[in-house]
Amino acid sequence: MAGTPQLADPAWAYAPAPESAGIVSIAPEYGLFIDGQFRPAAAGGQLATINPATEEPLARVAEAAQADVDAAVTAATVAFERVWRPMPGAERAKYLYRIARIVQERAREFAVLESLDNGKPIRESRDVDVPLAAAHFFYYAGWADKLEHAGLGPQPRPLGVAGQIIPWNFPLLMAAWKLAPALAAGNTCVLKPAETTPLTALLLAEVCQQAGLPPGVVNVLTGAGATGAALVAHPGVRKIAFTGSTDVGRQIAAAVAGTSTRLTLELGGKAANIVFDDAPMDQAVEGIVNGIFFNQGHVCCAGSRLLVQESVLDEVTDRLRTRLAALRVGDPLDKNTDIGAINSREQLTKICELSDAGEAEGAQRWSPACQLPQRGFWFAPTIFTGVSQSHRIAREEIFGPVLSVLTFRTPDEAVAKANNTPYGLSAGVWTDKGSRVLWLAQRLRAGVVWANTFNKFDPASPFGGYRESGYGREGGRHGLAAYLDA
């Protein structure tokens, strides 16, 4: 019938809703942020940062070497002793409130820049990363003049210079998680963003300038692993806070052995997401999808091991396949995009290698039909069924959009399988029975337990791992303990 649109009719073709990349202006080159000023690396080293969705270069950033680390630590030490430590907490608070406000005011720039540099969907950077980063500054601002009420001791004292090394999966948010509590507690900071995602940390440095933050209180050193290692080894650093892989965490723990340097580590995970047969199934399926496909699965607390009660396995996997077929993979700046680009070629290679191992070890692989862009780093959302506990895809952190599905029959078996990992960052539980939620919450060896929800974050909520997922907490009152001598 003429005039009636068919599903295949071009009138129903997908219409992208791209955010404008022009919202943010990116300079061709960036320097290091030391003592309140941007300056090139002393030795002139530079790194390129690219857009992982297109492989186009975005900018060149300075690569900090030993002399730059020395300069930043010196600036931070002077700022600590002369300015930031003596300053009344109420004044420190006002600087942090200013930073929170400027991040809110420049939220669109931050969101676009984050999606360009990291590859994550604009919907996530706009609705999660940037608002949470502002919220962290706002939350900890209020602690700066209330530290004696934090329950850590009558006269908590700042530690000194904090060296903070952050990963590429939530570049701005991790910078906020590190800087906000450290500054509120009266420490000064040398922040090392990840090699592949330096741009929002540099924009945050500009925000610090705009807030009038005294020079040297926050320093940003872009660079790669060698820069981080130099920071860890620097004798002027009193505290190291690291978020990243468990392997590097182990190296840092060994590097600070025998010193008085304090250390907190937020490392990898292989979280179990446990679905019982009485779970609210619509919410559970959304929670499973959010748990593993949020941020392309580049999430240390991702629910990468789905444990489904055997009686509802088929129902859950059928619903998951239907839901995955509706996910949109592609341009991170498209407001409709659910899954953006993998952050780097290196990470894409790792995801491919582990997924191939999953197939080789006998698990069944499934992905929805989806067209991936020709350029850039992409990986279709993937589900493995028939996974056993010994498979590498059930043991190793993939850090990509890959879900391993295992089954259980009894609650005891669910607990045993969930805890059968050297990690212990997070866990999920889906059931309608309240007493069962609490019974599991008591037994899961994980720092965060999401019950009938997943991947929720809040500045007031402590976050951090058990076992080889690291130690120390970020967020909340507990997050202050990492930066105070009580």
Q: Contact positions toward other proteins, by CB under 8 A? A: 135, 151, 153, 246, 249-251, 253-254, 257-260, 265, 267, 422, 437, 441, 446-453, 456, 458, 460-464, 466-468, 470-471, 473, 476-478, 481, 486
φ, ψ for residue 57 (rounded to 5)? -65, 140
Q: How many CB atoms lie within 10 A of CB 75?
A: 23
Q: Is 266 a catalytic residue?
A: yes
Q: Which of 266, 397, 468, 474 is catalytic?
A: 266
Q: Is 81 a catalytic residue?
A: no
The residue among 189 and 444 lying less far from other proteins, judged by its C-beta, is 444
The residue among 116 and 444 lying less far from other proteins, judged by its C-beta, is 444
Shortest spacing between CB 262 and other proteins, in angstroms? 10
The residue among 331 and 468 lying less far from other proteins, judged by its C-beta, is 468
Task: Annotate 53-114 with DSSP letters as a single string.
Answer: TTTEEEEEEE---HHHHHHHHHHHHHHIIIIITTS-HHHHHHHHHHHHHHHHHTHHHHHHHH
Q: Which of 189, 208, 300, 301 is catalytic?
A: 300
User: What span, in angstroms and rounded, lies between the C-alpha atoms of 166 and 118?
Assistant: 13
The residue among 223 and 249 lying less far from other proteins, judged by its C-beta, is 249
Pairing type for strands 402-408 and 305-309 reads: parallel
Distances (CA, A) of 247 to 33, 242, 393, 469: 28, 12, 18, 10
Shortest spacing between CB 459 and other proteins, in angstroms? 8
The residue among 167 and 216 lying less far from other proteins, judged by its C-beta, is 167
Within its chain, how far is the Cα of 281 from the centroid? Answer: 27
Whether the CB-CB separation of 204 and 213 falls below 8 Å is answered with: no
- Tokens 């088929």 — which residue? 314
Whether the CB-CB separation of 112 and 24 falls below 8 Å is answered with: yes
The residue among 60 and 443 lying less far from other proteins, judged by its C-beta, is 443
Whether the CB-CB separation of 231 and 69 falls below 8 Å is answered with: yes
Q: How many CB atoms lie within 10 A of CB 280?
A: 13
Q: Which of 346, 114, 125 is nearest to 225 (CA)?
A: 346
Shortest spacing between CB 473 and other proteins, in angstroms? 5
Long-range CB contacts for residues 202-208, cutoff 8 Å, separation at least 24: 202/30, 202/33, 202/38, 202/61, 203/24, 203/106, 203/109, 203/110, 203/113, 204/99, 204/103, 204/172, 204/175, 204/176, 204/179, 205/33, 205/38, 207/99, 207/102, 207/103, 207/106, 208/33, 208/99
Shortest spacing between CB 402 and other proteins, in angstroms? 24
Shortest spacing between CB 385 and other proteins, in angstroms? 28
The residue among 252 and 324 lying less far from other proteins, judged by its C-beta, is 252
- Please identify every residue annotated as catalytic: 266, 300
